[in-house]
Amino acid sequence: MLKNYIKIAWRNFRNLKSFGLINLVGLTAGTVCSLAILLYVQSQFGFEKQFDHFENIYKVTTYINNHGEFPDSDFISASPAIGPALAEDFEEVIRQARVVGLGGEYLMKPEGSDKAFFESNSYMVDSTFFELFSFSMLEGNSKTALKEPRSLVLSSELASKLFGEGNSALGKQVQLTSEDDDLSMKVTGVFDENVGDTHLNPNFILSMSSTGFGNFVLNNDGWAGNNFVHTYVQLSPQTNLDDVVKKLPNFLESHGGEQLRSANMDKKLGLFPIKDLNLKSANYSFPLSKVSDINYLYILIAIGFFIQLMACINYINLTTAQGMRRAKEIGVRKVNGASSRSLMLQFVIESIFFSLLAVLFAVPILIGSLPYLNQLFDSSLVTRDVLSLNMFISILLVGFSTGIISGAYPAFYLGMVNVNKIFKVKSQSSRSPFSLRNGLVVFQFAMVFLLIYAVTVVSEQLSHLNEKDAGFSKNQKLVIPLKTASVSANYTTLKTQFESLSQVNSVTACQFYPSQNILHDNKMFRKGTSVSDGKIVHINRTRENFFETMGIKLLEGRTINENDSTQMVVNETFLKHFGIAQEEALGVLFEPWNPDGGVSPAYEIVGVIQDYNFLSLKSEIQPVATFYDTELSNAVVSFNAESPTEVLQAIEENWLAINPSVPFEYSFLDDEMTKVYQEEIRLKKVAYTFTSLAVLISLLGIWGLVSFSLGQRTKEIGVRKVLGASVSELTQLLSKEFIVLVAVSVFIGAPLAYFAMDSWLSGFASKIDNTNFLLISSAVITIMVSMVTVIYKTIHAANANPIDSIMKD
């Protein structure tokens, strides 16, 4: 019987032609969308499972209550001394390991080789790192690889890059040079980086005792500040996590209470399971690596579900609309003893057949779309992921569930047709399901309207962020990292050579340039007050002409110069935090909090600059104090050439003449600013993609319904035309019902669309304020898109020869 049902389904698909094709295309488009989202969502689960005891490994978190001065701080990291103290004080803690992400790049040069290149993504770790995280070692011993100072462990990819494919790296020397370090390191191990999904993705690992900065971490006994160390602990399997967390306040008080009180700091510790880091830690600051956001996945799943549901609605509407075409088939089967149940089963199987046919088309399309999907989701999906067991199960579930959802109502409606009326009434029941059908059309276009409005709002907000004055000039600025101490020492020579070029306006240097988060901060308090009156202030260090080169406006006093040692320039927000009037700021002295209790020099305000958004317009402007320094990480070149190619070539020639052994690297400041909004740009691409699919599916559905409705009214159209009805009158008459449905969908969807996007916009400090106009524009676009489809079909029908229409059987 199943075979017979499938034959009937195939026969009906061939006989229906355009309607069958519309159903198939709609289901295929929806299936591609839902499978793409499922593929990405599955890739975000299962992190850290390759590590032994991953369920018992936790990361120490730090919460700092800033008492309303500015938003509270929630770090996924901790102070240096906390990890070892936890291992010593808590019997539940089996071991601990600390990780410091080095952030910048090291110039790497194998001993005896002429080649050198920069590598990033490096960690400095405790010797216990491989005891907590069981990476597979291809060379070396994980137990001893990090015991000695100057130990270096490489990823297999980097080892091949340094020493050649298939060559052993163990025991070889590598010179590592950065702005702060010049180290001769011994390779003590090579690990396999391709063993599973994890938030730990180093290219190379240094033992903590290898550098001065690492020894600072090892010897630091601070409990209040320096919350930059990623601290992991492994708890014994039987440990009750809540019991350990309850002990943390007393633990912190016993070790660091005095330091916290002297800093007037309200701090709490927590433990976060590493298995949840990828999906549930997005709200924490200072992550070790990029993480996903489970709320983003929920949104994607909802989009995929609704788009697939739209495809199902198309199938339901077109199948029920054409029900009377199969009335005689149903009647004959019932007369011959077929039960309503068997008829329902037949229509469900037909629906599943269509759905699985759509799956057969969708999977190759999905595989072919992987490059685009990887760009869309910022992922690294491959064909193997599509063909995995989990994905195979998901594909079958999508196929069968889509078939059942699509076929449930048509099966019930057609299976319950009254056999006594089938042969008496030619076609009247086609009107009976219209209440449900119309409701489904309204739902479809309400979702389309919401997505169109979302795309419009995201696009406008991105334009607003890119066009709004951030308080500095980002155009025609070249950022050149000074990644080694020797390059940094050559800055003055570089500046002189660069500024001798006619295309260069000026050159400066800084620790952090706009688009970078200013990572250094400290509590500062006005001289004559106590540290309890202090505020947390971001600390930047620059050369003398930084503000002039960046186009940051000076409001009072002067900017930084090379003779400054205890002078600083502050922004407007700094003064607001301390309640100081701008005209009274010059000469005011501030002291920084010294966690060691020593005496620090007082710093004098010599200038006030206009506020500028150093990170992005998503965040409120923070207080910033800027000091003069010579050992800085980045040079910034302001140039005036229309095309940067010529000036880049000249700058590179000067660079290599002064630093022949260091590769020339650069970026444009406006590109760096664009990267700040990468999440919003990706959201825009996602919204565009899925909105396009939703519009396509909905238009296919309304095209099919209009075609069927016009086919049912062919003779009516012919008669009206013979009686003198014009094409415009017929078009208005025939399209009115569908246009009203779309208008109702816009009216229903408007409140949901408005509140959803208003909630999204609330996450920005600077946002667009013309959302009412965008809402109306989106409504007009939704109605116009549907009108084009409906009116095109109705004009075509109205222009048909009335004699042919009347004579048509």
Q: Model confidence over 290-302: pLDDT tens digits?
A: 888 898 899 889 8
The DSSP element (H or E) to which 522 belongs, if any, is: strand 521-526
Q: What are phi and psi of 146, to 5 degrees?
A: -115, 15
122 lies in a domain?
A: yes
Residue 598, pLDDT above cutoff 70:
no
Predicted pLDDT of residue 785: 83
Q: Which of 119-128, 267-276, 292-301, 713-722 has the lowest mean pLDDT?
A: 713-722
Residue 432's pLDDT band, with cuts at 50, 70 and 90, is very low
Residue 427 banded pLDDT, cuts 50, 70, 90:
very low
- Asked whether the beta carbons of 235 and 273 are under 8 A apart, the reply is no
pLDDT exceeds cutoff 90 at 386: yes
Residue 507 has pLDDT above 60, yes or no: yes
Q: Residue 16 pLDDT more than 70?
A: no
So what's the pLDDT on residue 431?
46
Residue 171: which of 158, 183, 159, 157 has the closest Cα? Answer: 159
Averaged pLDDT, 670-695: 85
pLDDT of residue 766: 84
**pLDDT of 701 higher than 60:** yes
- Give residue for tokens 């209550």: 65
Encode pLDDT of 633-653 as tens digits.
899 999 998 788 889 999 999
pLDDT score at 18: 60
Taking Cα atoms as reference points, which of 433, 328, 380, 332 lies closest to residue 708?
A: 433
Q: Give yes or no: residues 568 and 600 share one domain.
A: yes
Q: What is the pLDDT of residues 577-596, one digit of tens each?
A: 999 999 999 999 999 988 66
Do 61 and 149 lie in one domain? The reply is yes
497 and 355 in a common domain: no
Same domain, yes or no, for 324 and 421? yes
pLDDT of residue 336: 60
Confidence band, pLDDT 50/70/90 cuts, at residue 418: low
Q: What is the DSSP string of 144-198?
A: TTTSSTTEEEEEHHHHHHHH-TT---TT-EEEEE-SS-EEEEEEEEEE-S-SS--
- Does residue 180 contact residue 128 with C-beta atoms inside 8 Å? no
Q: Mean pLDDT, the chain, as a whole number?
A: 85
Contacts of 311 (CB under 8 A, 6+ apart): 26, 27, 29, 30, 31, 402, 406, 697
Question: Domain count of the chain?
Answer: 4
Cβ atoms within 10 Å, residue 464: 16
Which SS3 state, helix, strand or coil, does residue 59 take? strand
pLDDT bucket at 787, cuts 50 / 70 / 90: confident
Render pLDDT for 712-727 as a digit per residue (tens, 0 to 9). 666 677 777 676 777 6
Domain contains 6: yes
Contact 374, 43 (CB under 8 A): no
Q: Are residues 578 and 560 in the same domain?
A: yes
Least confident residue range of 45-54, 68-77, 168-177, 533-542 = 68-77
Statement: residue 10 has pLDDT above 90:
no
Band the pLDDT of 325: cuts 50, 70, 90.
low
- Indicate if 98 and 195 belong to the same structural domain: yes
Find tokens 């018992």 and name the residue. 56
CB atoms within 10 A of CB 153: 29
pLDDT of residue 313: 84
Q: Is residue 285 part of a domain?
A: no
Task: Scan for tokens 């003055």, then name that residue.
Answer: 492
In a domain, 498, yes or no: yes
* Higher-confidence position of 770 and 99: 99
Q: Are residues 773 and 669 in the same domain?
A: no
Do 265 and 325 belong together in one domain?
A: no
pLDDT at residue number 120:
87
Highest mean pLDDT among 86-100, 295-309, 691-705: 86-100
Question: Does 469 map to a domain?
Answer: no
N residues, the chain = 809
pLDDT value at position 2?
A: 57
**Higher model confidence: residue 248 or residue 615?**
248
The pLDDT assigned to 247 comes to: 94
Which residues, 6+ apart, have CB-to-CB distance to 97 below 8 Å? 83, 125, 126, 128, 129, 131, 132, 133, 231, 232
User: Does the pLDDT of residue 179 top 60, yes or no?
Assistant: yes
Check residue 56 and give its pLDDT. Answer: 95
End-to-end distance of the chain based on CA atoms, in angstroms?
A: 34
How much is the average pLDDT of 444-448?
Answer: 87
- Which has more pLDDT, 43 or 798? 43
Residues 208-214 have a mean pLDDT of 89
Instruction: Residue 564: give the domain boundaries.
Output: 477-676
Same domain, 301 and 398: yes
Residue 500 φ/ψ, nearest 5 degrees: -80, -15
pLDDT over threshold 90, residue 805: no
- Regarding whether 181 and 139 lie in a shared domain, the answer is yes
Q: In terms of domains, do 520 and 452 share one?
A: no
Is the predicted pLDDT of residue 324 greater than 60, yes or no?
no
- Of 51-65, 152-166, 611-625, the poorest mean pLDDT is in 611-625
pLDDT at position 266 is 87
Weakest-pLDDT range from 1-15, 396-410, 503-517, 592-606:
1-15
- Are 465 and 768 spatial neighbours (Cβ–Cβ below 8 Å)? no
Q: Kindly list the distances between the CA atom of residue 524 and the CA atoms of 138, 221, 260, 533, 534, in Å, as whole numbers in the listed order.
A: 49, 21, 15, 8, 5
> What's the confidence (pLDDT) of residue 430?
45
Per-residue model confidence (pLDDT) at position 710: 66
With a CB cutoff of 8 Å and minimum separation 6, the contacts of 760 are: 457, 458
Q: What are phi and psi of 195, to 5 degrees?
A: -115, 5
User: Does the structure show a pLDDT above 50 at 657?
Assistant: yes
How far apart (Å, rounded) are the C-alpha atoms in residues 608 and 556? 5
Q: Which of 327-341, 475-489, 794-808 has the highest mean pLDDT?
A: 475-489
Of 225, 249, 280, the residue that ends a domain is 280
Residue 471 placed within a domain: no
Do 171 and 205 belong together in one domain?
A: yes
- Would 739 be classed as within a structural domain? yes
pLDDT category of residue 433 using cuts at 50, 70 and 90: very low
Question: What percent of the chain shows pLDDT beyond 90?
Answer: 42
pLDDT at 414: 61
Task: Please say if the pLDDT value at position 226 is more than 50.
Answer: yes
pLDDT digit string (tens) for 326-363? 556 666 665 666 666 766 777 778 788 888 888 999 99
pLDDT of residue 200: 93
Share of the chain above pLDDT 70, in %: 86
Cα–Cα distances in Å, from 317 out to 224, 250, 256, 313, 701?
Answer: 64, 65, 68, 6, 8
Residues 120-142 have a mean pLDDT of 94
Boundary-marking domain end, from 622, 643, 676: 676
pLDDT bracket for residue 154 (50, 70, 90): very high
Predicted local confidence at residue 804, as pLDDT? 56
Binned at pLDDT 50, 70 and 90, residue 462 comes out as confident
Q: Is residue 797 part of a domain?
A: yes
Domain boundary among 629, 648, 676: 676
DSSP secondary structure of 714-776? HHHHHHHHHTT--HHHHHHHHHHHHHHHHHHHHHHHHHHHHHHHHHHHTT-SS----HHHHHH
Q: What is the mean pLDDT of residues 681-697?
A: 86
Q: What is the pLDDT of residue 141?
A: 94
* Eight-state DSSP code of residue 529: S
The count of other CB atoms within 10 Å of the CB of residue 734 is 23
